[in-house]
Amino acid sequence: MRQFDTDDDIITALAGQNYVASREIATTVRMATVLEKPILLEGPAGVGKTSLAISLAAAMETDLHRLQCYEGIDETTALYEWEYGKQMLYTQLLTDQLTDRFGDMSISDAVDELSTEESAFFSENFLLGRPILRALQSAEPAVLLIDEIDRANDEFEAFLLETLDDYQVTIPELGTVSAEHPPITIITSNNTRMLSDALRRRCLYCYIDYPDPERELDVVLTQAPETSQALGEEIVSFVQGLRSHDLRKTPGLSETVDWARTLASLGYDQITREVAENTTGALIKHHADHGAVLAHYDEWESGDRSIHSGNDHDHDHGQSHDHDHSH
């Protein structure tokens, strides 16, 4: 597994995976490896939170274990489950041996005798590991991504606390499993609900906001190299201004890159009203926002189309942030 000694090492390694990282991100990752603490990444959708974990695992040349959270997720999905079908198959194959051994016993005696053999059927041979358990059992430090934790409920969040405290989990049938090499854990949230203070205390915190124009252009030209400098500047200028409108779904950095790839692939070298009308399916995700795109085009087309002319977008998060603009 690849190791990093400095922030610059991390920035360079992530750049090799087409991820444009800020120094804040690099420092946070290095702190996480030294302190063995998880990272909580918050911010709007599409700004590069998930792709940081994916790129980091690739840069480190280690495994990525991803747990996608959703409403109703439970410990079984995150940790493990017993392969009951496999247990039943083994039981059927051992039917003759079980009959010979227990055939002359009473039911109560057979149950008592069989209970002494439970460990054979609740061993690692029948255990199906899920992302968290697999990350803890990894032979080398892996990357564990717990994605969109804000979609899960409070009970699941509480379950994570044991894992995040000591990087261990308890399996009743087997005992406590502790990580020999704690994974680099990245937890993402899109701020759809407030996370508990208990979870926050256990994490290093970093907020990733929408990028400034220069960094967004850098990401576009890195992620969509088929895009010309001139077209990239127009795209970034347009999207930066569009974010100031009241939209159902504000386009993130991933949508900007998708739109750049779309325009470059279709052979467009500039944004016209027709282009804006016909291709913004790559940029917007709600029909209600289509009119806002066209209205913004009329404003944008009549003004300065340089990347410095995008309207400022004000996001009050209760504190200032050294924004990461990665993807």
User: Which residue would you say has higher pLDDT here, 95 or 94?
Assistant: 95
pLDDT of residue 311: 41
Domain boundary among 172, 190, 207: 207
pLDDT of residue 284: 92
47 domain-assigned? yes
The CATH number covering residue 175 comes to 3.40.50.300
Angstrom distance (rounded) from CA 161 to CA 165: 6
Q: Do 74 and 86 belong together in one domain?
A: no
Q: Do 184 and 290 belong together in one domain?
A: no
136 domain-assigned? yes
First to last CA, the chain: 23
Domain boundary among 207, 229, 264: 207
Q: Give the residue numbers spanning the domain of 121.
A: 81-126
327 domain-assigned? no
pLDDT of residue 174: 74
Residue 8 pLDDT > 80: yes
Angstrom distance (rounded) from CA 219 to CA 55: 14
| Percent helix, percent strand, percent coil in the chain, to nearest 5 | 50, 10, 40
Q: Do 248 and 139 belong together in one domain?
A: no
Number of domains comprising the chain? 3
Q: Do 294 and 223 belong together in one domain?
A: yes
Domain boundary among 126, 142, 158: 126
Nearest of 79, 170, 173 to residue 122 by alpha carbon: 173
Angstrom distance (rounded) from CA 218 to CA 129: 40
pLDDT of residue 120: 57
Q: 207 pLDDT band (50/70/90 cuts)? A: very high
Mean pLDDT to the nearest integer, 201-218: 94
- pLDDT-wise least confident of 26-30, 35-39, 154-158, 229-233: 154-158
319 domain-assigned? no
Share of the chain above pLDDT 90, in %: 63
Angstrom distance (rounded) from CA 266 to CA 274: 13
Q: What is the DSSP letter of 125?
A: G
317 domain-assigned? no
Q: Do 229 and 301 belong together in one domain?
A: yes
Q: Do 118 and 241 belong together in one domain?
A: no
pLDDT of residue 322: 39
Q: 123 pLDDT band (50/70/90 cuts)? A: low
Mean pLDDT to the nearest integer, 219-230: 95
Which distant-in-sequence residues (6+ apart) come within 8 Å of 222 by Cβ? 15, 18, 20
- pLDDT-wise least confident of 62-71, 99-108, 125-134: 99-108
Residue 325 pLDDT > 50: no
Per-residue pLDDT tens over the stretch 243-301: 999 999 999 999 999 999 999 999 999 999 999 999 989 999 999 999 999 999 999 98
Q: Do 148 and 290 belong together in one domain?
A: no
pLDDT of residue 303: 78
Residue 173 pLDDT > 80: no
- pLDDT-wise least confident of 4-8, 17-21, 168-172, 317-321: 317-321
The overall pTM is greater than 0.85: no
Q: Do 155 and 270 belong together in one domain?
A: no
Angstrom distance (rounded) from CA 139 to CA 31: 22
Mean pLDDT to the nearest integer, 8-30: 95
322 domain-assigned? no
Q: Do 173 and 302 belong together in one domain?
A: no
pLDDT of residue 90: 61
Tokens for 154, please give them. Answer: 């409070």
67 domain-assigned? yes
Q: Do 232 and 167 belong together in one domain?
A: no
Share of the chain above pLDDT 70, in %: 79
Q: Do 195 and 283 belong together in one domain?
A: no
Q: Do 217 and 295 belong together in one domain?
A: yes
Tokens for 259, please give them. Answer: 């739109």
Residue 309 pLDDT > 50: no
181 domain-assigned? yes
For 136, the enclosing helix (H) or strand (E) is helix 131-136
